Structure 1
Amino acid sequence: MTDQQPVPLTKTAPAPVPAAELRASDADRDRIADVLREALAEGRLDPEEHAERIDAVYRAKTVGELEPLVRDLPSPAASGRAAVPAPGQPYGARALPASDNLTAIFGGAARKGRWRVRRTTRVLAIFGGVEIDLTEALFEHREIVIDVSAIFGGVEIKVPENVTVRGDGGGIFGGFDIKTYEAPDPEAPVIVVRGFAFFGGAEVKRKRGKRLKNLRSY
């Protein structure tokens, strides 16, 4: 009678988690928020609908909770916009210019001091406040865009006195106080502030005595 070798036990690999049950990342939430902002700008959503969906975006825990919020909206490819990555892909995979995101929901957020300004900064304030101070910032592009959504919140933007400021936005039961200013130097950086305020406010303040020393650093 021959000895039989024990049959090694094989471990069964755990079943993969369905995509809809994956925990949502900040990048996933930003991806959905971008689609909603575009839908608001195109008139597909009114400000109240947009506010409700944005609130749901930042309360969502899983990818499956995010996707229904844009199910009835056209995809970026269908509307001619740059494609966004699928849920779970890195946020940097989007074919968009480098961007920054500032979000304040029932709280505050700020960018100030010596920091590098990206081509686009997206700002969302919901029952919160955001402060952006550009007076000591490093400009890497001649024109930068600050895209504001203020819903029961406020956004304050401080700029040096020797840059050009342009505004494109409006307020519904709120204020969008962006005064246009053309700098004497035609090569000065241009700051474009656009968006909307719904029961909120957005304001640009030119700081006297604060000047960019090198207007051609970008």
Structure 2
Amino acid sequence: MSDDAAPDLRASDADRERVAEILRDALAEGRLVMEEFEERLEAAYTARTYGELAPLTRDLPGAGAVAPAPVSFSKAPVGDGGWADRITGGAGSSTGAVAILSGFERKGRWTAPKRFSCFAFMGGGVIDLRDADFADREVEIVCVAVMGGLQIVVPPGVEVVVRGIGVMGAFEHPADGGPPAPGAPRVVVGGFAFWGGVGVERKLPRAERQRLKERRRQEKLERRESRHELRRARRAERHELDPARRAGRWDKQRERERYRGGEH
């Protein structure tokens, strides 16, 4: 569905982040000056509908485009945003990847299949599941790393089981993320690593990290404003006391002068 066909359709965090990425690329390429970038980025993160997002990139090329073109948004029916909406029960959009003296990435909005196989020989790869849908409640990722490395990124709440074997290599377990979230999928990591490694780490999705960063920045600004307000109050208090202090010093000076002049 295009942005012109459904301008009132609610935008998701992933949609806002896609627009932010296009704006960052445009800034890096010199298409936007910093002031324009900041204005559009703020508008992107506060936009609620596609109609509000579309004008922000209409005069910019989309991701990977070579000529300016309006951004078109494709959207499936929106659910409640929980794990149930991300377990599709269908086929995966990618079932495997190979990196030989090179690298690969699977990230963004994609569907992880029930079994994903990957191979890295003197190369590396990244399988990012933070924004992915899942074809099944249990997804198996089979990794073979020979003098190479593979990295798997999962969001908090996903249960991870690591069963791989390392020979002069290693399968790293993720940090404990607490109990699995209700309805979250289970990711089983297996395979073989020879003079290589397979790592699993937990990270917040990019949109959540951005919201957390913005919230911390706002809290920092509020604390700074509170300190400034306290300083202003103290200065005002000192200003109110100064006339009385000056009057007291003037009286003491007159007393000293009278004493020296024999008026005592």
With normalisation by structure 1, the TM-score equals: 0.49
**Greater Rg by CA:** 2
Q: Which has the higher helix share?
A: 2
Q: Which has the higher strand share?
A: 1
Higher RCO (Cα < 8 Å, 6 or more apart):
1
With normalisation by structure 2, the TM-score equals: 0.41
